[in-house]
Structure 1
Amino acid sequence: MQPRPVGPIVLLMRKFFGYILSPVFYLLFGIVITVFHPVQWLCLKLGGYQAHKKSVDTLNWCLVACYYVLGNTVKFVNKQPLPTDRPILFVANHQSMYDIPPLIFFLRKHHGKFISKIELAKGIPSISFNLRHGGAANIDRKDPKQSIAEILKLANHMKTKKWSAFIFPEGTRSKTGKVKPFNVGGIATILKKVPDVLVVPVVINRSWEMVRYGFFPLNTFTRMSWEVLPPIEPQGLSAEEVVAQAEARIKTKILVN
């Protein structure tokens, strides 16, 4: 699919407003993650998992709201009757770090956990705390044994607690929105260890435009969208076939300039 082309004058104006609005965005974003760091700690200590999860859901609602400071909008479409009593593996393309809060908030009833880089599990207020204590699989890409152990731990929680998981099989973010080849590894492990898992593709569009110019300025007046696509029943399919189907479904819905 091809989006409507944007003229150079419009791009220039959006960049200009980015210089003005980005500092406001970063200020609000920083306040949110700073405030919710002790909130998460208190919720976890006093109320356990459920209270901590509610604080994380609220955190991510606030982070999504920050996008609107830039004039950016979030459209989340989920027309799929997804089960809540069965673990789900959400497979999505990856365009920016701003892909994540809408996934957590709008799919919150599925208790989704991320397979993420271990580097993100320290040093970032709120976000690192949640990755360490919220059930994520924090993998060290330089240590295959550690990575497998983390994914197996998450898979066990998916089986016993009916949690779900998010995975970005491209491995790295796409800077242009074009989908990179999907890796099978992490998906294959979960398919093997969680026999009743349902695989659900999610297509993310235009998130990359928010970081078109990098860290600063952030882009403005961007219509970003997340859409949950029809599920894939993995029974009877190889991991390669499941990944190929998810990749193909996402590619048919992707918007590329």
Structure 2
Amino acid sequence: MSTMQTLRTFLFYLLLSVSACVWCILSVFVAPFLPFRARYRFVNQTWCRCAVWLAKVLLGIRYEVKGLENIPQRPCVILAKHQSTWETFFLSALFEPLSQVLKRELLYVPFFGWAMAMLKPIAIDRSNPKAALKQLAKQGHERLEQGAWVLIFPEGTRIATGQIGKFSRGGAALAVNAKLPVLPIAHNAGEFWPKQGWGKTPGTVQVVIGPAMQAEGTGPRAIAELNDRAFAWISQAQRDIGALAAEDAVCDVHESV
């Protein structure tokens, strides 16, 4: 990484951290008085748009989106590839209101966690997979009924570009039980915002939104089939944009939800 890019990356993190602190503190005092949709826009969507904009201006990380016409009018379950932090910012800005699965410990972080708690996240205990799946099923269904999108990274953790992790069935199960489709999303953000390290590379993130997929039937078999179909679509889309090395590049590391 060049000296100039190093300086730009340092400035990016500095401005991102300062803006997060200011925005979270402000949100703690303002957001409780706003209805949920307006609260989401104030607390999360505006700041995430700022983060994506800073990445574009300072780091040279731009993006192109294909498939916006595939987004259904009614909120459903989003199953997205997970490679970096960039897609968390981007998807949180694109879909609103959005509830996402996150580690329960994040809610204990002063101001940041308090602000996040007001956005109705599904905060799970990853050390207890069975309880986490039950919580996802219950709270995810509630969020969908309340008109919120539910974002799930079915790999459970960030997987380096060129690989894809096995998909947990939690997201597919949630969609089947709620009688709603899943919306698959592929991207190559990890090429420019790597999983590890703080270095960033200029480039254009390709985001591909697939067609909404409805389960064929109900029960465990329908859940497994829908999950496999979403996995197959995202895998092929990753190959099409050059973000998956080969058909057998499947990583065994994944978490429960």
TM-score normalized with structure 1 length: 0.82
Distance of 2:117 and 2:134 partners within structure 1: 15
Cα RMSD over matched residues? 2.2
SS of 1:80's equivalent in the other structure is helix
1:205 alignment counterpart: 188
SS of 2:16's equivalent in the other structure is helix
| CA pair 204-163 structure 1, distance change in 2 beyond 3 A | same
TM-fit CA distance, 1:183: 1.6
TM-fit CA distance, 1:160: 2.7
Q: Does 1:244 align with 2:224?
A: no
TM-fit CA distance, 1:251: 1.2
Is the Cα–Cα contact under 8 Å of residues 75 and 148 in structure 2 kept in the other structure? yes
Q: Does 1:233 align with 2:210?
A: no
Distance of 2:12 and 2:47 partners within structure 1: 15
Distance of 1:92 and 1:104 partners within structure 2: 12
Alignment deviations for residues 175-233 of structure 1 (CA, whole Å, 9 cap, x no partner): 2342122121x1244135312x1211000213343226x333x2221221222111101
Q: Does 1:44 align with 2:31?
A: yes
Equivalent pairs: percent with the same residue? 21
Distance of 2:110 and 2:206 partners within structure 1: 26
1:10 alignment counterpart: none
Q: Does 1:19 align with 2:6?
A: yes
TM-fit CA distance, 1:26: 0.6
| CA pair 51-159 structure 1, distance change in 2 beyond 3 A | closer
Distance of 1:106 and 1:134 partners within structure 2: 15
Segments of 4+ moved more than 4 angstroms: none
Q: Which amino acid aligns with 1:27?
A: L
Distance of 1:95 and 1:15 partners within structure 2: 23
Q: 1:194 aligns with which of 172, 178, 203?
A: 178
Distance of 1:124 and 1:90 partners within structure 2: 28
| CA pair 177-41 structure 1, distance change in 2 beyond 3 A | farther
TM-score normalized with structure 2 length: 0.82
Gaps of 5+ in 2: 246-257
Is the Cα–Cα contact under 8 Å of residues 169 and 183 in structure 1 kept in the other structure? yes
Number of aligned residues: 236
TM-fit CA distance, 1:125: 4.9
SS of 1:87's equivalent in the other structure is coil
Is the Cα–Cα contact under 8 Å of residues 177 and 205 in structure 1 kept in the other structure? no
SS of 2:69's equivalent in the other structure is coil
TM-fit CA distance, 1:51: 2.6
Q: Does 1:155 align with 2:140?
A: yes
Gaps of 5+ in 1: 1-13
Q: Which amino acid aligns with 1:115?
A: V
Q: Does 1:77 align with 2:60?
A: no
Alignment deviations for residues 47-73 of structure 1 (CA, whole Å, 9 cap, x no partner): 231331121211111011121211111
Distance of 1:188 and 1:73 partners within structure 2: 31
Distance of 1:124 and 1:227 partners within structure 2: 35
Q: Which amino acid aligns with 1:251?
A: S
Is the Cα–Cα contact under 8 Å of residues 210 and 220 in structure 1 kept in the other structure? yes
Distance of 2:92 and 2:2 partners within structure 1: 28
Distance of 1:78 and 1:107 partners within structure 2: 14
Distance of 2:110 and 2:59 partners within structure 1: 22
Q: Does 1:123 align with 2:112?
A: no
SS of 1:210's equivalent in the other structure is coil
Q: Does 1:95 align with 2:79?
A: no
Is the Cα–Cα contact under 8 Å of residues 81 and 187 in structure 2 kept in the other structure? yes
Is the Cα–Cα contact under 8 Å of residues 121 and 132 in structure 1 kept in the other structure? yes
1:173 alignment counterpart: 158
| CA pair 81-98 structure 1, distance change in 2 beyond 3 A | closer
SS of 2:51's equivalent in the other structure is helix
Counterparts of residues 55-74 of structure 1 (less than 5 Å): 55=42, 56-68=44-56, 69-74=58-63
2:253 alignment counterpart: none
| CA pair 129-98 structure 1, distance change in 2 beyond 3 A | farther
TM-fit CA distance, 1:161: 1.2
Distance of 1:123 and 1:54 partners within structure 2: 21
| CA pair 93-122 structure 1, distance change in 2 beyond 3 A | same
Is the Cα–Cα contact under 8 Å of residues 172 and 182 in structure 2 kept in the other structure? no
